[in-house]
Amino acid sequence: MKVAVSSQGKTLESHVDTRFGRAQFFIIVDTETMDYKVVDNLAVAQSQWCWN
């Protein structure tokens, strides 16, 4: 299974970011293999209530 986690950094040791929509990064982890991919949150600097 793959799980997306909002993160303050780019490693599995990074702290979880409690602000999902404003997190700097998302880490997508394959729970079976522990392989992961880091995705930059491009919307982190958007103004409030900005919908694309």
pLDDT in tens, 17-48: 998 888 999 999 999 999 999 999 988 777 66
pTM summary value:
0.80
Structural domains of the chain, count: 1
Average of per-residue pLDDT across 4-8: 97
Tokens 């982890």: give the residue: 29
Any residues with CB less than 8 A from the CB of 51 and at least 6 apart, and which? none
User: Would 29 be classed as within a structural domain?
Assistant: yes
Alpha carbon distance, N-terminus to C-terminus of the chain = 29
Query: Residue 32 is part of which domain span?
Result: 2-40
Query: Closest Cα partner for 35 from 25, 49, 1?
Result: 1
Q: State the pLDDT at residue 21.
A: 83
Q: Which residue has the higher pLDDT, 15 or 19?
A: 15
User: Would 46 be classed as within a structural domain?
Assistant: no
Q: How far is it, in rounded angstroms, from Cα 20 to Cα 41?
A: 10
Q: State the pLDDT at residue 31.
A: 97
| Structure token digits, residue 47 | 């103004």
Q: State the pLDDT at residue 25.
A: 97
User: Would 47 be classed as within a structural domain?
Assistant: no
